[in-house]
Amino acid sequence: MSTRRAGRDHDGDIVAVVGAGPVGFFCAQAALPSAASVLALDLDPSRLSIAERIGAIPVDVSARNAQTAVDEHTQGRGADVVIEAVGTPAAFERSVDIVRRGGTVVVMGVYTSELVQAQIGVWWVRALQIRFAGTTPVHAWWERAMAEVQAGRLDPLPIVSHRLPLGEAAHGYELFDT
């Protein structure tokens, strides 16, 4: 939902999600109903397996070049929308590389003080739109997100790997972070 606010609806678009972790998982799942197709790009086979189970096309970027994989899927055009869900300069640069001319990169990854060298001329020639989701106001989206879960349009269960008592929350966060 936050990607729609930052970007646009994905009606008929080819969407590529860079990073199939928790943020990328939900971005892919939210895009699937209206997108023509959703590609999930990641290094982790288990994350790619989960993305494939929900209907995304997995792309293992440790085994193949991301731009080549996206070009093969789009007949050389590039993705209409790329959602960057990692929060690293390399992921941002990869996102810019695989979006089509006139396409949109939606930055969902969290950045604090990272620097990214911007080739403004390349972005300008390619007429790219770069949109930053920013901090998502959870309370503003909570009811809508829960309605999506209740209606079966979003399913958080595929990424649940552990169930822990509240007293082990710190350990749970450590597990989440690995």
Specify the CATH number for the domain of residue 159.
3.40.50.720
Q: Could you tell me the sign of the dihedral formed by the alpha carbons of 171, 87, 157, 151, in that order?
A: positive
Task: Please give the tally of structural domains in the chain.
Answer: 1
Given a contact cutoff of 8 angstroms between Cβ atoms, the answer to whether 43 and 62 are in contact is: yes
pLDDT, position 109: 92
φ, ψ dihedrals at 158, nearest 5°: -60, -20
Cα–Cα distance between 101 and 79 in angstroms, integer?
9
Mean pLDDT by 10 residues, the chain (178 residues): 53 95 93 95 97 97 96 97 96 96 95 88 95 82 82 79 88 79
pLDDT, position 47: 95
Range of the domain at 18: 2-176
pLDDT, position 178: 66
